[in-house]
Amino acid sequence: MEYVPKKWKRAQVFMVLNSGKPPEQVTSYRPISLLPSIPKSFEKLFLKRLKPLIEERQLIPEYQFGFRNKHSLIDQVHRITNLPHTWYALFESYLTERQFRVIHEEALTDWKNISAGIPQGSVLGLILYLLHTADIPTNNYSMTAMFADDTTIMITNEDQPTATDWLQRSINNVSNWTKRWKIKI
């Protein structure tokens, strides 16, 4: 299979009022994305086949603890994993031409295109995110710790100016990396 049907790539987004927030303000709501159930079953089957390959090839760095038991996500997954071409084509189909619409009470928006990112609420989303961020730059003078989408860079050195310089270099490297992979901070 190298193709994901368009209907499987549509999310309905429900706006849920946050507790204690005024309902007249847009910022008082959080989006909940619901995907069709058939694609979720497909994702579970695909993930069952994908996980052993990821583990065998040690594709997710040891310092990434979340979700575990060239200029796009698709390129990144292909570059890092070197998966079979048919899987690459399937990922590309899965991640492109996605759409969403917002549902709030009786109101319903038109379908809108999603130009980037991983589908919220999807089964594959978590592992795709880990693959997408697996090549975060590291170095010998710092320690990187990750849990899902939270990242910490730690530097220790008795000389404060040296530690500050090392930390700034690490931050600059990560900042350039986020720009290259279109990851928003």
pLDDT band (50, 70, 90) for residue 68: low
The pLDDT value recorded for residue 175 is: 93
Residue that terminates a domain, selected from 118, 135, 152: 135
Residue 66 has pLDDT above 60, yes or no: no
Q: Within 10 Å of residue 90's Cβ, how many Cβ atoms?
A: 18
Residues 16 and 106 in one domain: yes
- What rounded mean pLDDT belongs to the chain? 84
The amino acid occupying position 12 is Q
Per-residue pLDDT at 67: 64
Could you report the per-residue pLDDT of 19-64, keeping only the tens digit for each? 999 988 888 998 888 888 888 889 889 888 888 888 888 888 765 6
Bridge partners of 107, per DSSP, are 104
Q: Which amino acid is at 11?
A: A
- Contacts of residue 91, defined as CB under 8 A and 6 or more positions apart, other chains included, come to 74, 77, 78, 83, 128
Query: pLDDT band at residue 70, thresholds of 50, 70 and 90?
Result: very low
What confidence score (pLDDT) does residue 71 get? 45
Within a domain: residue 1?
Answer: no
122 falls within a domain: yes
C-alpha distance from residue 10 to each of 3, 35, 45, 62, 118 (Å): 15, 7, 19, 34, 12
Helix (H, G, I), strand (E, B) or coil at 92: helix
Mean pLDDT of 114-142: 85
Do 56 and 127 share a domain, yes or no? Answer: yes
74 phi and psi, to 5 degrees?
Answer: -60, -50
Q: How many domains does the chain have?
A: 2
Same-domain pairing of 74 and 97: yes
Q: What is the pLDDT of residues 84-117, one digit of tens each?
A: 778 888 888 888 899 999 888 888 899 999 887 7
Q: For residues 44-69, b (16+ Cβ closer than 10 Å) or e, as one string?
A: eebbeebeeebeeeebbeeebeeeee
With a CB cutoff of 8 Å and minimum separation 6, the contacts of 21 are 27, 28, 29
Domain holding 147, by residue range, is: 136-184
| Separation CA 5–CA 9 (nearest Å) | 7
The predicted pLDDT at position 172 comes to 94
Residue count of the chain, please give it.
Answer: 185
pTM: 0.57
Percent with pLDDT over 70 in the chain: 89
Q: Is residue 39 part of a domain?
A: yes
